[in-house]
Amino acid sequence: MKGLILVGGYGTRLRPLTLTVPKPLVEFGNRPMILHQIEALANAGVTDIVLAVNYRPEVMVKTLKKYEEEYGVNITFSVETEPLGTAGPLKLAENVLKKDNSPFFVLNSDVICEYPFKELAEFHAAHGGKGTIVATKVDEPSKYGVIVHDLATPNLIDRFVEKPVEFVGNRINAGLYILNPEVIDLIDMKPTSIEKETFPILVEQKSLYSFDLEGFWMDVGQPKDFLSGTVLYLNSLKKRHSDKLSTGDNIVGNAMIDASAKIAKTAKIGPDVVIGPNVTIGEGVRIERSVVLANSTISNHSLVKSTIVGWNSTVGKWCRLEGVTVLGDDVEVQDEVYINGGKVLPHKSISSNVPQEAIIM
């Protein structure tokens, strides 16, 4: 089987992290985001993976070469000279996706979930339609485009309703699909939306179905959702009794801590914390609902809450970081500084308080 991952452009929503590292290689749960998806596709029997990007991917090639060997897959880049939307990349990768009659998976690179690709493939084969959308349930469907089903045929999609005023359903497109190769014939080589242009054709042909996603789902393409997705991901690991979660006297709730991290005994970690390789956590530090990326230091008696600490960064003593603060690569926060919702660009030193949301250049 085959799979296409819609990577897109420069990851501007996740800045300042993506100013130094391509979005697919930013670590989520101490692994590059793209690796979660490559592993899931490989485990479902996918052998050819296309990454659809609209920037030059040289910086990713070395890392992905290693994954090719590790998972026994072929990874190719489909580079757009102009952004082609969510359907155009399928047409651009036609030579791979149509090389045989087997269906192919499509997924958004920002989506984190439990990736039920095997079950999805079985469901798709059973109903005999041309396409299947993975659907997830939401509490506030009025914010989204909602899937409405045919009353006579289970799971057959009848129409989509954009941001409905009245309740018509609570299932939305989760950004994962499986499609038959002939669907590519419906797409022109130009900027095209699969949701607004291709799927309505399949609905009209009565050939598009939905598959209910069990478990968690999150688009982690921006910092606040990256943190929310981390909470959901760690909780999913707990439900599956995963040995990836850390335990200890100073750990509260769910936490994932790399074995190389050095954490003082008086520090308290958790709940909902991920700590990367070669991180140093000082005495009396409190960290909750945060991600600390590799080679960073949190000095004595600082509080880090709802924050992403970028690689190679240093937080001084008696600091307080909260409110979806994001530190880029190699940032220094000096002693006794308060940051609330600040986005600090790489290689900066912060010596004064940032009491409200701001970009520190």
Start-to-end CA distance of the chain, whole Å, equals 45
Of the candidates 13, 88, 26, 104, the one whose C-alpha atom is nearest the C-alpha of residue 54 is 88
Q: In what order do the strands lie in the sheet with 273-275?
A: 255-257, 273-275, 290-292, 307-309, 325-327, 342-344, 358-360
Give the pair of three-digit tokens for residue 42.
Answer: 């490989």
Cα(64)–Cα(76) distance, rounded to whole angstroms?
9
Query: Residues with Cβ < 8 Å from 192, sequence gap 6 or more?
Result: 84, 85, 86, 87, 88, 91, 198
**Contact assessment for residue 13 and residue 107, using Cβ atoms and an 8 Å cutoff:** no
Cα(266)–Cα(176) distance, rounded to whole angstroms?
43
Crossing angle between the packed helical segments 33-43 and 117-127, to the nearest 10 degrees:
50
Catalytic residue status for 196:
no
Phi (first) and psi of residue 101, to 5 degrees: -90, 0
> Which of these is catalytic: 66, 99, 143, 163?
163
Give the catalytic positions in this structure.
163
